[in-house]
Amino acid sequence: MLKRLSLAIVLACVAASVPARGEESMSAASLYGEPEVMQFKDGKPAAFSMQFDDSTLTQAKFAIPEMNKRGLVGTFFINPDSSRYQANKETWEVICPKFGHELANHTMKHTGAKDYEEADHEIGACAHLIWKLYPNESKLRPFLRGGGTTWNVSREEMQELRDKYFLFSGFAGPRRVGICDERGTGPIKAYAKAALDEGKWGQVGFHGVGGDWISTSEENFIELLDYLVANRDKIWVATTGDAYRYWQEYEAVREVTLSQATESGFKVAIECDEEKVKTYGRPFTELYDEALTVRVRVPDSWSRFAVTQGDEEKAYEAVAVEGKPYAQFDLRPNIGPATVTLSAE
Ligand SMILES: [Zn+2]
């Protein structure tokens, strides 16, 4: 489950090849363990995503406020030209970005398209609206064309449009369970528990929550949210986009290197193989900007430390794993090394 990379060996060889300073380098290098890239954010053992289709009224009136109260985020597949969306425009365009929810492309009207031009508008206008609402976020977004819709375009044309607007399938991650009480999908928290038990990324999809269509009850939904809050330390509740970008980068990790080790810190960098992800003809770091969590064993004396990468600096506390101290922190791949520095007490 962890990506183990044999860095200690490299460091040991470097130290051995420089006899004059060998002893000093050797002892500094041996202060730290091999850096590990964790499978999920913050080293949590599982991830879980909630998707919501069609910008329904019950999502705006019930699901979103209940999630906000608990600090939980979801992915909302919106139809900006529908009356449902227009009736709660502030929820979608102000509240969702503010509370960290993701808006995803479900086309302007959820009606398919009679030709290529209309398809380009249905998908493209939705993409542009979402990009405008999240000016500082990756343009790589999930896409679902809408159940029961007819698209009078070829498969190649559809793919061309998805590529043009940096879209990946909303079904690309783990199998999404479409929640519907009437169809017997049962207690929703069971799907989150299964993700945790299996150490995986789980995903469910909603339409109505306490009304509308393909619905679940308010009670069933709240039970899920409370389960996620109770297991916050173990389950990374992520938008589909964040979880997808993390997953793609994690799978593409080629190496993680720790260097320039001294008693007060070290440098560390992650290199991803850019060939392993779909970059849509853009530089890797433009669409894949999710920080990966790295964990490094540090000396017992470590408590607070700071990580600087580019012009970003973040403060952390060492975490205990099986009684031993580790530096655990966010690191963006392919933008050069971060400097990890022990803070003065
Ligand atoms: Zn839909």
DSSP secondary structure of 255-275: EEEEEEEETTEEEEEEEE-GG
Q: Are 120 and 147 spatial neighbours (Cβ–Cβ below 8 Å)? A: no
Q: What's the gap in Å between 195 CA and the centre of ligand 1? A: 25
The Å distance, Cα 169 to ligand 1 centre, comes to 13
- Which residues on neighbouring strands pair with residue 232, listed in sequence order? none
CA of residue 147 to ligand 1 center, whole Å:
5
Measured distance CA(26)–CA(31) in Å, rounded? 9
The encoded tokens of residue 101 equal: 């929810």
How does 295-312 read in b/e, with b if 16+ C-beta sit within 10 Å?
bbbbeeebeebbbebeee
Assign 239 to helix, strand or coil. coil
For residue 139, what are its two tokens?
């343009």
Please give the single-letter amino acid code of residue 32: Y
CATH assignment, 3-42+254-342: 2.60.40
Q: Could you tell me where in the chain the CATH 2.60.40 domains are found?
A: 3-42+254-342
Query: Which residue in this structure is represented by tokens 């970005």?
Result: 97
Residue 343 makes CB contacts below 8 A (sequence gap 6+) with 303, 304, 305, 306, 315
Q: What is the pTM of this model?
A: 0.91
CA-to-CA dists, residue 196 to 44, 65, 74, 205, 259, angstroms: 9, 25, 18, 18, 34
How many A from CA of 171 to the centre of ligand 1?
Answer: 13
71 Cα to the center of ligand 1, angstroms: 25
Is 292:331 a contact under the CB 8 Å cutoff? yes
DSSP state of 42: G
Which pLDDT score, from 0 to 100, does residue 30 have?
85
Q: Mind giving me the DSSP string for 55-79?
A: T-HHIIIIIHHHHHHHT---EEEE-
What's the 52 CA to ligand 1 centre distance in angstroms? 9
Look at the chain and count its residues: 345
Name the H helices within the chain. Answer: 7-16, 19-29, 57-58, 64-70, 83-87, 89-90, 96-98, 116-133, 155-164, 189-198, 218-230, 240-252, 284-287
Distance 203 CA to ligand 1 centre (A): 16
Distance 280 CA to ligand 1 centre (A): 25
The whole-number mean pLDDT for each consecutive block of 10 residues of the chain, a chain of 345 residues, reads 43 39 53 96 98 97 98 98 98 98 98 98 98 97 96 97 97 93 93 98 97 94 98 98 98 97 96 97 96 97 96 96 96 97 88
CATH 3.20.20.370 range(s) for the chain read 44-242
d(CA 78, CA 80): 6
Q: Quote the CA–CA distance of 194 and 43 in Å, as a whole number.
A: 18
Q: Which CATH number does 44-242 carry?
A: 3.20.20.370
Q: How far is the CA of 233 from the centre of ligand 1 (A)?
A: 32
> What does the pLDDT read at residue 307?
98
